[in-house]
Copies of this chain bind each other. A is one copy, B any other.
Amino acid sequence: MNLDAYRIRSEPFYQPVGDEIAVFEAAFAERLPVMLKGPTGCGKTRFVEHMAWRLAKPLVTVAAHEDMTASDLAGRYLLEPDGTVWHDGPLTMAVRYGAICYLDEIVEARQDTTVVIHPLTDARRILPLEKHNEIVPAHADFQLTISYNPGYQSAVKDLKESTKQRFLAIDFSYPPPAVEAAIVAREAGTDIELAGTLVAIAERSRNLQGHGLDEGASTRMLIHAGRLMRAGLPLEAAVRSSIVLPITDNHDIREALSAAIEACIP
């Protein structure tokens, strides 16, 4: 089996902000596990796709959720005509055949999943499949990357210290305005001036964070607004539908947000 279906054919656009590419390359050179930290919609998934393309390795992405168990990652027996047959899960596939495995928001998963990755993140670099009575040594190309949103963690649901200490970390945040405008213009196909207006709107919303908003507008939302305008909606309707209405249901915050937005419109 090869993992060709998991290779990324064309370069995913990624605009670096600091030394994150150098850090990831050094981590990959040493095959050390990496944790990407940062808020929603600021480009963590895009970054790992870009790095997989840059390093020319297959990328196996798994979005974790609170019902995800170790078996969803490692594999399980399925009933087939000739009896039960073992099927590798996505993590095992990446370990066995050599891929970057990206576990998105691993903290959402049940804790048995974090234990499964422990022996892959120290000198052993093995994946014990207890139910299959097999110990899979990691392929030379295997590397593990996880994402983590510090704003979401709570006392009841957090990575254990013994897990966190196994990972290098790279911090992500919203890019500086000029960089963000360039990203929006490119991704939404708008001119740079309009993109700048959208970024200004986003910054207003981010200032409201902690004052009634859980999180400000993400880069993704700005791209949504740009695309709606490309499809013919006027700016106000596009921003209302892509930013104001999704971000809050509170009438007063919506008013404040709309006023702030109006002030940004040239």
Contacts and interface: CB of A to CB of B under 8 A. Distances in A.
Question: Which 3 interchain pairs have the tightest Cβ spacing?
Answer: A169-B245, A65-B115, A65-B112
A45 interface: yes
A252 interface: no
A220 B166 CA distance: 7
Interface of A: 5, 19, 22-23, 25-27, 29-30, 32, 35, 37, 40-41, 45-46, 61-70, 72, 77-84, 87-90, 93, 104-105, 108, 110-112, 114-116, 118-119, 122-123, 128, 130-131, 133, 135, 149-150, 152-153, 160-162, 164-171, 187, 214-215, 217-218, 220-221, 224, 227-228, 230-233, 237-238, 241-242, 245-247, 249
A63 B108 contact: no
A interface: dominant SS: mixed
A3 to B, nearest CB: 11
Q: Count identical subunits in the complex.
A: 6
A193 to B, nearest CB: 21
Given A61-B119, A168-B242, A78 B84 contact: yes
